Amino acid sequence: MSRTLMHTLLLSGMICWCSVATHAQQVAEEALQPSLSAEATTEETEATSNSIELQAAKFLGVTPGETTLAEVIEKLGEPRTEQRGDTSTILEYQVGPFPKVEVFLTDNIVVSVLAELGEPRNPSELATELGLTGFKPVVIKNAAETLGIAYPERGVLFSYAADSPRPRVAQLLLEPLSAEMFLLRVDATPSDHYTQKLEDLERVLDIDPKNAEALWLGGKLLAITGKQDDALKLVKQAVQLAPKNDRYQLTQAKFTARAGDHKGSVVAVKRLLDRSDLSAVNRARAELDLGDLMSSGLNRDHKAAVEHHLAAVKAATPLVTHEDPVIRHEAEHILVDAYLGAATDIAQGHWDRKSEVVPKWLRSAEELATGFVQNDGANSILPLLVWRRTLEAYASMDGDVVDTAAVAEAAQQIATDLIDKSEDSLFHQHIKWELLQANFAALRVEQTRGRYSQALKYAGEAVRLVEGLPKDRAANSEARYLTGRLYFYVGSIYAINHKDHAEAVRWYERALPHFNKGLPKSDLYDTGIHGERYVSMGVSYWKAELADEAVKLTEHGLDLMERATKASLLDQKALLVPYSNLAEMHRVGGRSDQAEEFSAKIARLEDEQTQR
């Protein structure tokens, strides 16, 4: 990008205000009066930068985006030179310490003011003089060099001198407010600065409510912070505005599946994969997403899921050396996720030699993630995601194939380091959510292997984290379901291992409010398992002499289990447990007719099982 084109290509509009000071202070004050509707100190600017009213900078009363050609002539006088095109005009002036000031107009309205400084200036000193130190600049660069820096809130760009060995400002550019400049800062902002990114995206949408990229990026960030419904709404808007953007469509399909429309998401991703013009990185992403979809939903196909995850590995591998860092980092994340996806598919499916194969895939994912972070500046959260999903994969398997303590400690250490290095509260919340899921998975690994004291250790850490969730995160269906299961599993340890049904009931009482709103739409596959949870709780309530509650819980569990058998999500013979429990509960309660009814169901089901 050439320096002469920089302002036209990168700054399509900024509305802010600024003051300018030069070495020739008195002359400068004559030439450039700060036009502030409300003056603010640097401290005040820092405190109120989110809510500050954006205005245009005025150069001797000339306001980009507002002032007409006639008004420019009235305020600045006749120009030294003038160039006119069909719709454009360039007026050149010499003003005070500025040897050259160009006013650019389109359709007789000022679109920018470009002022050359008498001598190059230190950018930090100039920023201080202009009252810009309270704002975060965005660096403007091309492939070869840094061209300057811009302050989106003030509509000011510092253009650097081309021949200077160190950054020195040669020109100042003022333009109307620019959505693009805020988007540039979003891209340049470190990955752990969620709050800054969201604030800038909000500014973009204030300027341009139909900016599809901002809607998409905002949706992805909201999803990370747990606001799934809002995230889907934004991404849907992005797709409506840019229906040919494949990346937006993939994100919409992913979020739509989480909202419960799994079949629609599968159709959408397959339709994209059928296209011959799909870009390489989007094809890799689509294969990854389809693999994830095949391993979830009501009709899970782990064999197909593995095939698509392997296709994602094949498609992403050559892209991790791509010269474009955006494509390269995207491919790195896809590759790690694809390895993790394949490991999870094998862990959950019917495969031989799981204990040999799954650890290899997980180790490869860990090595890739660590290498990408250390050698290429990939997102630093990647290793934490690997450790969390490692524990989740092993929770789906039998046998001692993992050192749970080592993995959980690694996850804890990474999480601690990430939080210590960041001051962003939203990022902290995300890390704690990942750590919560890791501890929940560690609880399940240990519980399913009968190591109950260790399971309770991880449960205690998970409870601490779940009770610290922000209200909006805690209220979403995913968090509610995890919280309910966490309390349930703690209760089940007390019931099964400690034979302490009174303590189990206390934990179940904490679980039930989170279960009462039903399963998340994305987890209906768990209907049968969820019914068994209710039946299990019913046993503890019965043992704790809470008969009425025991019957209600068991009946509700039976209802869920029967639904699951009709949907082929649960073997019918599993119904023998709630039938037997209810027959006994009604018999002891003196309800002989109901007891006989369930006894008859047991007999019929046993006959059916015998005949098979």
HSE-up of residue 477 (Cα within 13 Å, Cβ side): 13
Q: How confident is the model over 1-38, as pLDDT tens digits?
A: 333 323 322 333 332 333 333 333 333 333 333 321 22
Q: How far apart are the first and last CA of the chain?
A: 74
Is the pLDDT at 418 greater than 80, yes or no?
Answer: yes
Q: Which residues of 155-184 are buried (b: 16+ CB within 10 A; e: fewer)?
A: bbbbbbbeeeeebbbbbbbbbbbbbbbbbb
Tokens 């610290």 correspond to 468
Number of residues in the chain: 612
pLDDT higher than 70, residue 50: no
Quick check: is 352 in a domain?
no
In a domain, 279, yes or no: no
> Does residue 303 fall inside a structural domain?
no
* Counted domains in the chain: 3
- 144 plus 15 within the same structural domain: yes
Residue 354 belongs to some domain of the structure: no
Write the pLDDT tens digit of every residue in 298-338: 999 999 999 999 999 999 999 999 999 999 999 999 999 99
DSSP-based three-state secondary structure for 37: coil
Of the candidates 154, 169, 186, which is a domain's last residue? 186
Euclidean distance between CA atoms 445 and 454, whole angstroms: 10
Residues 18, 111: one domain? yes
**315 in any annotated domain:** no
Sheet with strand 169-174: strands edge to edge? 81-84, 88-95, 98-106, 109-121, 169-174, 156-160, 146-151, 138-141
Q: Are 179 and 195 found together in one domain?
A: no
Last residue of a domain, one of 253, 282, 299: 253
The answer as to whether 559 is a domain residue is yes
- Collapsing DSSP states into helix, strand and coil, what is residue 135? coil
Find out whether 86 and 73 touch, Cβ atoms under 8 Å: no
Contacts of 354 (CB under 8 A, 6+ apart): 346, 347, 397, 401
Same domain assignment for residues 161 and 15: yes
Range of the domain at 233: 189-253
Does 226 lie in the same domain as 98? no
Q: Can you give the CATH number for the domain in which 517 is found? A: 1.25.40.10
Please, is 467 exposed, middle or buried when counting C-beta atoms within 10 Å of its C-beta (0-12, 13-18, 19+)?
exposed
Mean pLDDT of the chain: 90
173 and 77 both lie in a single domain: yes
The predicted structure's pLDDT at residue 38? 27
Residues 31, 175 share a domain? yes
Pair 77, 122 in one domain: yes
404: tokens are 């749970």
Q: Is 469 helix (H, G, I), strand (E, B) or coil?
A: coil
For residues 94-106, average pLDDT: 93
Q: How far apart are CA 263 and CA 27, in angstroms?
A: 70
DSSP H helices in 396-451: 404-420, 425-448
In terms of domains, do 528 and 604 share one? yes
**31 lies in the same domain as 128:** yes
201 and 88, same structural domain? no
Contact between residue 90 and residue 4 where contact means Cβ atoms under 8 Å apart: no
Q: Which of 27-41, 135-149, 341-355, 440-454 has the lowest mean pLDDT?
A: 27-41
State the Cα–Cα distance between residues 294 and 313, nearest whole angstrom.
16
pTM of the model: 0.87
373 pLDDT exceeds 50?
A: yes
Tell which wins on pLDDT, 58 or 174: 174
The residue from 165, 186, 207 where one domain ends is 186
Radius of gyration of the chain (CA): 31
**398 or 605: which leads in pLDDT:** 605
Name residue 98's beta-bridge partners.
95
pLDDT tens, 223-281? 999 999 999 999 999 999 999 999 999 999 999 999 999 999 999 999 999 999 999 99
Query: Is 464 among the domain residues?
Result: no
Residue 585 domain-assigned?
yes
Q: How many CA atoms lie within 13 A of 289 on its CB side?
A: 29
Same domain, 182 and 204: no
CA distance 153 to 164: 27
Contacts 24+ apart (CB under 8 A), 398-405: 398/448, 399/355, 400/449, 401/354, 401/355, 401/358, 401/359, 402/359, 402/445, 404/442, 404/445, 404/446, 404/454, 404/458, 405/454
Q: Is 568 helix (H, G, I), strand (E, B) or coil?
A: coil
